[in-house]
């Protein structure tokens, strides 16, 4: 019996040590309901806790006051699959921060204070399936390559931001997109919107909640479903710089020809009168 227990002792020590360190690894202010989840939501945090275990997969940080994601965050926590930073004070995403987040499947940055989504903001997050960027009241700029590399992204939430327009490439570069929420933005259906409108019509089944936009010049709100390609027909007729140059050049040419023609006509009339005058003199004689 004894030798057997003695053999087991190192193993027992190791197991209890693993359990103890797991307990110790949970940041003091947070809960760790299972070995891979750290729940620090609603703890009044103004920055990320230091002592998050490096093998964390689900990190819940919603309802805090965190203003910034450190650039090496995803280098440290490279196993992260699920990151909830909803309702914090993030004002920007530094390009490169998410470039190593290759396992991330779910990212919630909704209800923050983001103002723009720069080119390649999410790096090559090839596993990302759901991205929430809603309810950022100052978010007015989304770069046309903001979502590049998100080859698995199925759901994108951009509702209730400050977007008045969007480059169509931002969405058309997402091969797996199934659902996009865009409602509650101050969209303006002017000529810049025409390309995006065509994409929206072709992909209307991906917009469960539709959207509204304001029509110039008086800005009254219409639902997208009330508009058709015809609503933007004037935009195709609108003039480009080349068109304007051609018009100006033709105008000048026509004027020049007209002046030359008048001059020629006047000369002809004058000659004719001179000729008639001299003929009359001859007849008088
Ligand atoms: C956002 O977080 C703050 C701070 O924890 C909290 O008081 C507030 O209720 C949260 N808002 C929402 C909509 O959950
Ligand atoms: C959010 O961002 C805007 C524009 O950058 C700024 O004016 C405002 O003070 C910010 N609000 C908070 C709560 O940080």
Instruction: Give the model confidence (pLDDT) of 126-163 as tens digits.
Output: 999 999 999 999 999 999 999 999 999 999 999 999 99
Q: Is residue 219 scored above 60 in pLDDT?
A: yes
Atom of ligand 1 nearest to the CA of 64: 5
Model confidence at 284, in pLDDT bands (50, 70, 90)?
low
Atom of ligand 1 nearest to the CA of 111: 13
The pocket around ligand 2, CB under 6 angstroms, is made up of 89, 91, 113, 115, 138
pTM of the predicted model as reported, rounded to 2 decimal places:
0.77
Q: Using the mean position of ligand 2's atoms as its centre, give its distance from the Cα of residue 68 in Å.
A: 13
Closest listed ligand to the CA of 112 = 2
Angle at 153 between CA 38 and CA 200, to 5 degrees: 135
Q: For the beta carbon of residue 224, count every other beta carbon within 10 angstroms.
A: 18
Q: Whole-angstrom Cα distance, residue 154 to residue 90? A: 24
Model confidence at 25, in pLDDT bands (50, 70, 90)?
confident
Q: Whole-angstrom Cα distance, residue 161 to residue 164? A: 9
SS3 105: coil
Neighbouring-strand partners of residue 179: 155
Using the CB atoms, write b or e for 66-104: b if 16+ within 10 Å. Answer: bebbeeebbeebebbebbbbbbbebebbeeebbbbbebb
Question: Which H or E run contains 200?
Answer: helix 194-202
**Residue with CA closest to ligand 2 atom 8:** 113
Q: Is residue 105 scored above 50 in pLDDT?
A: yes
**Residue with CA closest to ligand 2 atom 11:** 113
The pocket around ligand 1, CB under 6 angstroms, is made up of 42, 63, 87
Average pLDDT over residues 252-273: 78
Contact between 30 and 40 under an 8 Å Cβ cutoff? The reply is: yes
Domains of the chain, residue spans: 12-185, 239-285
Nearest by Cα to 133 from 78, 81, 170, 188: 170
Q: Dihedral sign for Cα 155, 180, 122, 111, please.
A: negative
pLDDT score, position 225: 87
Helix, strand, coil: what percent of the chain each, to 5?
Answer: 35, 15, 50
What CATH number is given for 12-185 in this structure? 3.80.10.10
């Amino acid at each position: 019996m004894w030798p057997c227990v003695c053999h087991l002792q190192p193993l027992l020590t190791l197991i209890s040590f693993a359990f103890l360190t797991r307990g110790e690894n949970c940041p003091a202010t947070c809960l760790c309901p299972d070995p891979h989840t750290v729940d620090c939501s609603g703890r009044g945090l103004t920055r990320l806790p230091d002592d998050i275990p490096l093998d964390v997969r689900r990190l819940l940080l919603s309802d805090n006051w965190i203003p910034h994601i450190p650039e090496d965050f995803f280098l440290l926590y490279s196993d992260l699959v699920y990151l909830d930073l909803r309702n914090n004070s993030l004002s920007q995403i530094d390009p490169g921060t998410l470039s190593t987040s290759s396992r991330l499947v779910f990212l919630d940055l909704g209800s923050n204070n983001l103002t723009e989504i720069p080119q390649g903001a999410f790096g090559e997050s090839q596993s990302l399936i759901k991205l929430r960027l809603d309810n950022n009241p100052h978010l007015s700029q989304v770069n046309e390559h903001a979502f590049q590399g998100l080859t698995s992204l199925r759901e994108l939430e951009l509702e209730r931001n400050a977007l008045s327009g969007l480059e169509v490439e931002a969405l058309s570069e997402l091969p797996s997109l199934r659902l996009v929420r865009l409602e509650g933005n101050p969209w303006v259906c002017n000529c810049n919107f025409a390309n995006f409108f065509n994409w929206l019509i072709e992909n209307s089944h991906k917009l469960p909640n539709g959207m509204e936009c304001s029509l110039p010049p008086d800005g009254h709100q219409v639902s997208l479903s009330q508009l058709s390609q015809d609503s933007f027909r004037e935009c195709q007729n609108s003039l480009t710089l080349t068109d304007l140059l051609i018009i100006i050049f033709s105008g000048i040419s026509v004027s020049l020809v007209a002046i030359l023609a008048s001059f020629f006509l006047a000369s002809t009339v004058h000659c004719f009168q001179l000729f008639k005058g001299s003929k009359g003199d001859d007849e008088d004689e």
